[in-house]
Amino acid sequence: MKKIITLSFAVLTALSIAGCSGSSNSKTNSKPKTEAVKPKPKYYFDGKTANIRDLKITITKVKFFRKAQPKGKNQIAFEYIVNNKSKKKIDVTTAWLAVFNAYQDNKNTDGKLEVGPTPMNYAGKLLDNQNKTIKKGGKLQGVISYSLDSNKIPVTLKATKGVSGAKIGQKDYKLGKFKTQNNKLGVN
């Protein structure tokens, strides 16, 4: 009698487990799981592209240059493309400065880096584009450099929604191999 009760209990348990798994499978088969994809925010900086109301800036290259003069500083240079999404008069330099600031951490100040002279490696097209106005829907390539306070501390690039707007993102850049600046005009 004890064997019959134990066997009956085992059969009932097996059936109830099978019933549970069958019901969960039918739910899974009837409604496939989909993960919600979050849309990008209206204003953002994802480490490569900054998007705000009037413009979009895409960083295409980051380079490091040795100081050009004995008393000068090494530099980080950002090559980028600006897309004008508005009817406003926008040039590549003003667009960059409205969105980005570069920093190097230090113990005494906020570490904000100064915009430096553009390395002579960019003499020509990129340098000539600096003050050209971009039409609505147009895009233009530019370059900007910052004078480094340290040759070891990473540079943090912070993006905002315009000159005094809210922060929309940031990215750290480890310093790479420093290249020598060209001393001749017209070399790209």
User: For 120-163, how does the pLDDT look when each residue is reduced to its tens digit (9 = 90+)?
Assistant: 888 887 888 888 999 999 999 999 999 999 999 999 999 999 88
Residue 41 neighbours by CB under 8 Å, 6+ apart = 168
Delimit the domains of the chain by residue range.
44-173
Phi, psi dihedrals of residue 36, rounded to the nearest 5°: -70, 125
Kindly provide the residue ranges of all beta strands, DSSP E only, lying in the chain, ordered along the sequence: 44-45, 49-51, 55-65, 75-84, 90-91, 100-103, 114-115, 133-134, 139-147, 155-160, 167-173
Question: Cα–Cα–Cα angle for 59, 142, 46, nearest 5°?
Answer: 15
Q: What is the pLDDT of residue 28?
A: 47
The torsion defined by the Cα of 82, 123, 147 and 61, in degrees rounded to 10, comes to 50
Reported confidence tier of residue 29, pLDDT bands at 50, 70, 90: low
Looking at domain 44-173, does it have CATH number 2.60.40.1240? yes
pTM for the structure as a whole: 0.75
Q: Sign (positive/negative) of CA torsion 118, 122, 126, 131?
A: positive
Which element (helix H / strand E) includes 110? none
pLDDT tens column, 35-74: 677 677 789 999 999 999 999 999 999 999 998 888 889 9
For 160-187, the pLDDT digits (tens) are: 998 888 999 999 999 999 999 886 554 4
22: helix, strand or coil: helix
What are the pLDDT digits (tens) for 72-124? 899 999 999 999 999 999 999 999 999 999 999 988 888 999 999 988 888 88
